Amino acid sequence: MERIEEFLAERDRLNKRLLAQADLPIKRFFALDQDVFEDGAIPGKYKELLGLVASAVLRCEDCVTYHLHRASQAGATHHEIEESLAIALLIGGSITVPLLRRAFERLESL
């Protein structure tokens, strides 16, 4: 399993290349995508868990890795993350299991 620092560095490198080639709508979308996870009526920690569950049911592995990291940084406990992944499993079904296997492996290392 790739270390989280390597994942984040590669993500950052590719984001920069993407934004260097992108026009205004894509740049603005990226800004919005950060805004909606800011603390608000819902604390940032729970927003990251919302992002985690949405990513898991849509089966986006990079998105799951990212929100696992962010949720953990925002103070989400192992138990809160486990409960979020259980909800993703029930809603999304066994088709999410391969991704959840790798998410739980990463969770151990956070």
Is 69 a binding residue for a second copy by CB under 8 A? The answer is no
CA–CA separation, 35 vs 28, rounded Å?
11
Is 79 a binding residue for a second copy by CB under 8 A? The answer is yes
Binding flags for a second copy, 26-65, as an x/- string (CB under 8 A): x-xx--xx-xxx--xxx---xx-xxx-xxx-xxxxxxx--
Q: Is the dihedral of CA 62, 65, 66, 68 positive or negative?
A: positive
Least distance to a second copy, CB of residue 106, Å: 10
Q: Which of 89, 88, 81 is nearest to 105 (CA)?
A: 81
CB 92 within 8 A of CB 59: yes
CB 69 within 8 A of CB 39: no
Least distance to a second copy, CB of residue 10, Å: 9
Is 22 a binding residue for a second copy by CB under 8 A? The answer is yes
Q: Which of 60, 49, 61, 45 is nearest to 87 (CA)?
A: 49
Interface positions with a second copy (CB under 8 A)? 11, 14-15, 17-18, 21-26, 28-29, 32-33, 35-37, 40-42, 46-47, 49-51, 53-55, 57-63, 77-80, 82-98, 100-102, 104-105, 107-108
